[in-house]
Amino acid sequence: MNPASGNLPLQLSIQLSMQRRQVRAGRVPQVCVMRLQHGRVWVTQEGRTEDYWLEPGASMVLLPGALVVIEADHLSALRIEPVALQTARAWLRLCGAGLRGLGAALCGSVRRDASALLSGGEGR
């Protein structure tokens, strides 16, 4: 995040690498998800009553327009992306899983029908 500009351009997503004790601050223009990939960071956001420590794999929602401050406890990497992008990826994963499941179900049905035909269960 760039404290000078105060806003993050988030058409897609951004990757941040932070050194120990490095602080980044800024505002996101839309609802985003921040996910910590490795390291440990302290996060506070304007309008929230609590601060957060994030460990690897943890995520939190960032509210649009509110100042967010992130400080790395040690070498850390995180990704910030708009919720719409997160939703699109989840939908595509779900569709892929659904198509694989549909394919497996159809193949199973075809195998059962073929077995019935070969064993004389139909047409005799």
Cα(32)–Cα(106) distance, rounded to whole angstroms?
Answer: 39
What is the predicted pLDDT for the residue at 13? Answer: 81
- Find, among 9, 7, 40, 5, the residue nearest to 22 by Cα: 40
CATH no., domain 14-83: 2.60.120.10
- Domain borders along the chain are 14-83
Cα(104)–Cα(115) distance, rounded to whole angstroms?
Answer: 16
Q: pTM to 2 decimals?
A: 0.61
Tens-digit pLDDT profile for residues 73-97: 999 999 999 887 666 666 666 666 6
Beta-ladder partners of 82: 32
- 69 CB-contact burial (10 Å; exposed 0-12 / middle 13-18 / buried 19+): middle
Whether 18 and 72 have beta carbons less than 8 Å apart is answered as: yes
Instruction: Label the pairing between strands 23-27 and 32-45.
Output: unpaired
Q: What is the 3-state secondary structure (H, E, C) of 46-68?
A: CCCCCCEEECCCCEEEECCCCEE
Tens-digit pLDDT profile for residues 29-76: 888 899 999 999 999 999 989 999 999 999 998 988 999 999 999 999
* pLDDT surpassing 80 at residue 8: no
